[in-house]
Amino acid sequence: EVLTLLVLTYPLLQGLAVQLHSAVTGSYIPGTHSIAFVNCLNEQIARDIARAIMDKKLAAYVNILPKSSALYFWKGELEESTEILLLVKTRTSKIGELSNYVRSIHPFETPEIISLPIDQGNPLYLRWIGESVPRD
């Protein structure tokens, strides 16, 4: 029974140990923060969505990248358009809430909202993201 309990609780204990080590040493835990990509039809929509994300404190920082060309299949047809891309820096734990919120305000039927965890980076910048976005 003790062995079974240890095996079942190992991932939890390991996660707590990594968080404790990070708190004591000030090191970054890979994957704590993420970058989300959100596509937008035009610059005004991009600015409105970026501001709404910031107003809800769902991100520390949002880049609005200039117009780019896009090719994609939609309803079986090859489409070509221009888009504005948002790069949203936030806590990984906020990605679900961010995605739900963006879907609720985005004019696209199926907006692109994808994220990638941040593995490494400037420790001061990563700490700033954590300080800027409230915990759950």
pTM comes to 0.81
Q: Where are the domains of the chain?
A: 1-28, 31-132
Q: What is the per-residue pLDDT for 136?
A: 77
What are the pLDDT tens digits along the chain (136 aa)?
666 766 677 666 655 655 565 666 677 899 999 999 999 999 999 999 999 999 999 999 999 999 999 999 999 999 999 999 999 999 999 999 999 999 999 999 999 999 999 999 999 999 999 999 998 7
Q: Is the separation of the CB atoms in 57 and 97 below 8 Å?
A: no
Q: What is the per-residue pLDDT for 9?
A: 72
Which token pair is 59?
Answer: 């991100």
Q: Is the separation of the CB atoms in 9 and 70 below 8 Å?
A: no
Chain length of the chain:
136
Q: What is the per-residue pLDDT for 101?
A: 98
Q: Domain 31-132 classified CATH 3.40.50.800?
A: no
Q: What is the per-residue pLDDT for 27?
A: 78
Q: What is the per-residue pLDDT for 28?
A: 87
